[in-house]
Structure 1
Amino acid sequence: MLYIFDLGNVIVDIDFKRVLGVWSNLSGTPLAVLSDRFTMGEVFQQHERGEISDEDFAGKLCDEMGIALSFEQFATGWQAVFVALRPEVIDIMQRLRNEGHRVVVLSNTNRLHCNYWPQHYPEVAAAA
């Protein structure tokens, strides 16, 4: 049997408020202001679909929010979305694999996050 697990808020808890908190600290812009300005609008969707580069995404999103961040600062905030691994889900995934089932991770994530999570959560790849 095939079991498909989503990454965000299934295997790993995520929280976009953490992203905004880092950007607020780095830019000096109040968190409430960034919360009002941040949307998962067209620029976000273009990036999710792979239509724009990570650097273009960072620049355009910063422009939309009215903040000036380097790409590295932007990426640091963007990676802060990951809160913690859910060990109970990893246990389930491993148990299913040990029983001979096929276990995969399917997620609507983006390149920046795809480059990040395997390094910081190797347990996920090991369980899938």
Structure 2
Amino acid sequence: MAKIKNIVFDLGGVLIDLDHAQAVRRFKEIGVEDAEQLLDPYEQKGIFLEVENGTISAEEYCEKLRKHAGKDIPYKDIKHAWLGFITDTPQYKLDYLLKLREHYNVYLLSNTNPIIQEGWARTTQFTPAGRPIGAYFDKMYTSYEVGVTKPDRKIFDYMIADSSMIPAETLFVDDSKANIEVGRSLGFATYQPANGEDWREAIDALLK
């Protein structure tokens, strides 16, 4: 294996702990009865996918969701439902990223949306330390800003071209089997943690 110079992290299931069932429950509570069919732990469907791949804005998504549910849902309730995915943001993992950045380029590659990002992750509410998510990475590549979601290889190609990273010198950490397979096919070293796993020792071992 080539010497690793870059590390790319997924967000949900890797840096933050996820609860898919809680998100489904919250969306059902605000009137989205088919939430189970639309919400996916790895890649959303319908208007949920549209807002994550940047096809529609947060405002357009909220309007479409209200029409879909047939009722006027306040924005704060929509945001609360989305944040149902998140059960914990372990500070120790983020502190570990800061240590990694002393020796490596550290990137985020995430399927996410402007409601979670602008309304929470990019604010001081993101962690107990009061830092926004951007404080922990050299650069972030999010699906709604790039315009494509994983596992489509176009988002990987965009990140590679923009950052000038060499896949053989890059470790890709993601909890999705489909995403890991694409990363591996492009030449990345990979690690697939379980949701909630403390993967620091495993990453250390790979970097030695």
Map of 2:116 onto structure 1 = 113
Assess if the C-alpha contact under 8 Å between 1:11 and 1:90 holds in 2. yes
1:61 aligns with 2:48: no
Q: Structure 1 residue 65: deviation in Å?
A: 4.8
The alignment's TM-score, normalised by the length of structure 1, stands at 0.73
What is the match of residue 2 of structure 1? Answer: 6
* Identical aligned residues as a percent: 22
> In structure 1, what is the equivalent of residue 77 of structure 2?
73
Number of the residue aligned with 2:203: none
Q: Does 1:82 align with 2:86?
A: yes
Name the structure where helix makes up a greater proportion of residues: 1
C-alpha separation in 2, matches of 1:72 and 1:108 = 21
Question: TM-score normalised to the size of structure 2?
Answer: 0.49
Tell me the C-alpha RMSD between the 2 structures: 2.7
Name the SS for the 1:72 alignment partner. helix
The 8 Å contact of residues 12 and 18 in structure 2, kept in 1 or not, is answered as: yes
Instruction: Give structure 2 stretches of 5+ with no counterpart.
Output: 138-208
Q: For residue 96 of structure 2, what is the aligned residue in structure 1?
A: 92
Distance 1:85 1:36, change over 3 A: closer
Deviations 1:28-73 (A, max 9, x none): x8xxx55545443221221112121213212323444556522232
Runs of 4+ in structure 1 displaced over 6 angstroms? Answer: none
**Residue number among 110, 134, 150 corresponding to 1:125 in the alignment:** 134
Query: Displacement of 1:5 after TM fit?
Result: 0.9
Segments of structure 1 that go 5 or more residues without pairing to the other structure are none
* 2:24 alignment partner, one of 6, 15, 20: 20
Deviation at 1:118, TM superposition (A): 2.4
Q: How many residues are paired up? A: 123
Q: Deviations over 1:74-114 (max 9, x none)?
A: 1222123221113443243122123x211122212111111
Distance (whole Å) between structure 2 residues aligned to residue 57 and residue 123 of structure 1: 24
